[in-house]
A and B are shown apart, each in its own frame.
Chain A
Amino acid sequence: MPPSNDPFYAGLGQAVRIGTELLASLVVGGGLGWAADTYLLDSGPWGLVIGLAVGAAAGIRNAMRAAQNWPK
């Protein structure tokens, strides 16, 4: 029973994938920024702000990449 052949489950898989793709990049970007703030530079909130912005951009890139092979 290969689920990839069923369009319902293939679509479900894609949808689930894109959601986590956005979330994970945001968490990683914000986390890196926060870690730089706290442990490396002592630079106030700016690392977190920039990290979140970069993470959001990276998340959208990853989501775009995942959406490029949407099952037709």
Chain B
Amino acid sequence: MEESPLHPFELHELIPISLFGLDISINKAVILMWIVVGLAGTLLVVGGSARKMVPTKLQSLAELLVDFIRGIILDTMGKDGMKFFPLVATLFVFILFCNVLGLIPGSYTVTSQIIVTGVFAVSVYALSVALGFMLHGIKFLGILIPPGTPGWLLPLMIPIELVSQLARPVSLAVRLFANMTAGHTILGVLFGLAIGGGLLIGWLPFAFTIAMNALEVGIAFIQAYIFTVLSCVYLGDAVTLHGHGDAHAH
């Protein structure tokens, strides 16, 4: 097999467009994002417009989704967090659809590009920091001091807390990107083995690809869920000024 298992992640321009020197060409990832937005929008608009007492299939799917997101917010931020519902729901639905649609052979996993996950993570984190400073002013810097720290430890604890705060957007972005990329690379390697092995032994890696695909469906859900939960936790930290709100997640 001469083809690299990382080959599916390469993007090629389909329609080259340049705007004021910026490269905004249309490639596979852009088209997939349009499809995701179209599908998610259709599901939620059509499913949400019926409002029947006995829901149709589409309506119950939309209700399940909305109720699940509501549960995430109530678990992590409490009732006050419901004002973030539009943001959190958009994040969750977009990432979930990107992850799941990427599993269809021949399509593209948008979330396997670190620039996509990075933009999401950095904007959520920037929002939480801006929110913290808007709500609490300079007191927001108090999240850098864990409660109960003796004074002589402060020169050590503040840099550590600063790094652990700055690591939040990085870990958020890398987690989603790495999980998606790794899963698809494993699938690529196994398919390469299946084709290279021929009929005699190739069925074994092929059977593994089926098992891996089932696991990947789970991972797609899990990663969208974790990204959303942690976004909620970070936003909740900025609102309540705990800095250690992780303890009441889940």
Contacts and interface: CB of A to CB of B under 8 A. Distances in A.
A joins B in a complex: yes
A32 B163 contact: yes
A37 interface: no
What is the size category of the interface that chain A forms with chain B? 20 to 34
B195 interface: no
Interface residues of B, number: 30
Interface string B195-218: 000000000000000000000001
Interface string B228-250: 00100000000000001011111
Contact of B222 (A3, A24, A68, A69): A3
Interface string B137-165: 00000000000000000000001110110
Contact of A12 (B68, B71, B222): B222
29 contacts: A1-B221, A2-B68, A3-B218, A9-B218, A9-B222, A12-B219, A13-B222, A13-B225, A17-B226, A20-B175, A21-B171, A23-B171, A24-B167, A25-B171, A32-B166, A51-B163, A54-B160, A57-B160, A58-B161, A58-B163, A58-B164, A58-B167, A59-B167, A61-B160, A61-B161, A61-B164, A62-B164, A68-B246, A69-B249
